[in-house]
Amino acid sequence: MTKRTWSERSGSALDQWVRITHMLFCCGRDNGAYAIQKGVGIMELIYGLVTGILFGFLMQKAHVIRYDKQVGAMRLTDFTIFKFMLSAIIVGMVGIYFLKDAGIVSLSVKSTSLGANIIGGLIFGIGWALAGYCPGTAAGALGEGRWDALIAIVGMLVGAALYAEAYPALKASVLAWGNLGKITLPDILGLHHWIVIVALCVIYVGLFFLFRLVEKVE
Amino acid sequence: MLNVETNPIFRSKGKGGMRENMNVLIRKTWSPYLAGALAGIVLCLSVLVAGKYFGASTTYVRSAGILEKAVASDHVAKSSYFMRTKVKVDWQMLFVVGILLGSFASAQISRDFTAVAIPPMWRRRFGTNKAPRFLVAFLGGVVALFGARMAGG
């Protein structure tokens, strides 16, 4: 069953309006103003911008986008990022599965490939530790005035271009190693998803208490 | 029962505690638990309303493609990776731009915006010379994105 999102069902009214206005004012002339977004609806872009603003606002308020917090997390001397991420995971996990069970949304599961995930993850970790920013937080860090994040962003663009060149060679090797397909934790464990969700919530809340304990010792 | 003033979940560390600053938006620091939980709600709403999960690294691929296209459009057109990850402006690109704007707005409102080139932790360990920091930030960025794309996200 294909599920339609709210934007497809109701939000397209504005999209229609933009399309009609575009037709009226630019009749016949394909000047590219709206044509650039063929197939990407303008609403989708507005949703992206608004969601990003909210997310960036929250990350800045929690101080999780700055270098000292990122590297502090990797050195296990600062638990702010763990607290933020695990809280977001708990709420997101419960919320998304609740909506999925209600039949309103569907999961977006990426394929697991042991070669790609392990080797790629290790490479990412080295780069993340050196830069002190990851792809999303680099943008946020630049927003709060950290100029070195701009240099990291330029590096990331170069890294993306290099990966595009390496992709044909990697596709036949690393990316194909240990390909397990689109699996989830409940699938592997053979347990009902709510059992796994509750267990993970208990573990994460346990970690919160552990962080407080370690902070007290320090 | 749940006292907002004393409960550690709601109490933020450092300057600008509950009592000192009642205007939440002006406050410099929010509890990471609270901000994280709100981010979880934002994710749920995004999936519900737009059908979009969060991600950022694909944007760097698309942006690199847009830049490369300006110099060598034939090369991009032939690239198997850019055929798979289309060179276009999409939800995620605006999401990443939004993160920058949201962070800027938050920092401005709370007067937390500080233009610095070298992070304090780096400065304490390696000094105030900009060149080494910029070189490592650049190389780190290259390696991080390459690894992220290999790992699939």
Give yes or no: residues A80 and A163 share one domain: yes
Query: Is the same domain home to A26 and A122?
Result: no
Q: Does pLDDT of A17 surpass 60?
A: no
Average pLDDT over residues A20-44: 51
Q: Which domain covers residue A49, as residue numbers? A: 1-61
pLDDT of residue B38: 98
Q: How confident is the model at residue A21 (pLDDT cuts 50, 70, 90)?
A: very low
Q: Residues 86 to 125 of A: which have CB under 8 A from any B CB?
A: 86-93, 95-96, 99, 104-105, 108, 110-111, 113, 116-117, 119-125
Orientation of helix A80-101 relative to helix B32-49, angle to 10°: 30
Give the per-residue pLDDT at B15: 52
**What CA–CA distance (Å, rounded) separates A92 from A106?**
13
Q: What is the mean pLDDT of chain B?
A: 90
Query: Looking at residue A28, what is its pLDDT?
Result: 36
When divided into structural domains, chain A yields a total of: 2
A46/A72 same-domain check = no
Would the pLDDT of A7 be above 90? no
> What is the spatial distance between Cα A55 and Cα B35, in angstroms, rounded to a whole number?
9
Q: Are residues A99 and A41 in the same domain?
A: no
Residue A146: phi and psi, rounded to 5, are -90, 100
Q: State the residue range of the domain holding B17.
A: 1-53
Does one domain contain both A68 and A115? Answer: yes
How much of chain B exceeds pLDDT 90, in percent?
82
Q: How far apart are CA A150 and CA A145, in angstroms?
A: 10
The per-residue pLDDT for range B35-64, each reduced to its tens digit, is: 999 999 999 999 999 999 999 999 999 999
* Span A167-173, average pLDDT: 93
Assigned token pair, A168: 């044909």
Is there a single domain that holds both residue A37 and residue A68? no
What's the rounded Cα separation, in Å, for the pair A85 and A96? 16
- pLDDT, one tens digit per residue, over A182-211 is 999 999 999 999 999 999 999 999 999 999
pLDDT of residue A34: 40
Per-residue confidence (pLDDT) for residue A123, from 0 to 100: 98
**Cβ atoms within 10 Å of B86's Cβ, excluding its own:** 13
pLDDT in tens, B90-108: 999 999 999 999 999 999 9
The model's pLDDT over A110-154, given as tens digits with 9 standing for 90+, comes to 999 999 999 999 999 999 999 999 999 999 999 999 999 999 999
Same domain, A100 and A6: no
Consecutive H or E run containing A113: strand A112-113
Q: Is the pTM of this model over 0.90?
A: no
Split at pLDDT 50, 70, 90, the class of B153 is confident
Q: Say if residue A181 is in the same domain as residue A96.
A: yes
Residues A170 and A119 both lie in one domain: yes
- Domain identity same for A138 and A173: yes
The whole-number pLDDT of residue B3 equals: 53
- Report the pLDDT value the prediction gives residue B23, as an integer from 0 to 100: 86
* One domain for residues A170 and A93: yes
Task: Give residue B9's pLDDT band: very low, low, confident or very high (50, 70, 90).
Answer: low
| Mean pLDDT computed over A34-62 | 86
Q: What is the pLDDT of residue A120?
A: 97
**Closest to B98 (Cβ–Cβ): which among A49, A68, A124?**
A49
d(CA A184, CA A182): 7
pLDDT digits (tens, 9 = 90+) for B12-39: 555 545 555 568 999 999 999 999 999 9
Length of chain B: 153
Question: Residue A162 to residues A129, A156, A175, A176, B153: CA-CA distances in angstroms?
Answer: 20, 10, 16, 19, 16
Measured between beta carbons, the chain A residues lying within 8 angstroms of B8 are 212
> Do residues B79 and B102 share a domain?
yes
Instruction: For chain B, say whether A155 makes contact (Cβ under 8 Å).
Output: yes
CB A43 within 8 A of CB B90: no
Whose structure tokens read 């016949």? Answer: A28
Confidence category of residue A218, pLDDT binned at 50, 70, 90: confident
Q: Which residue of B has its CA nearest to A122?
A: B147
Nearest CA in chain B to A102: B48
Mean pLDDT of A60-86: 97
A50-72 residue pLDDT tens: 999 999 999 999 999 999 999 99
Q: Are residues A56 and A68 in the same domain?
A: no
Q: Is A169 on the interface with B (CB under 8 A)?
A: no
B149 close to A (CB below 8 A): yes
Residues B102 and B65 in one domain: yes
The chain-wide mean pLDDT, for chain A, equals 87
Same domain, B1 and B49: yes
- Quick one: B78 and B124 in the same domain? no
Q: What is the number of domains present in chain B?
A: 3
Closest CA to A182 of A100, A106, A85: A106
Residues of chain B numbered 55-84 and touching chain A (CB < 8 Å): 56-57, 59-61, 63-65, 67-68, 79-82, 84
- Taken in order A166, A169, A171, A175, the sign of the CA dihedral is negative
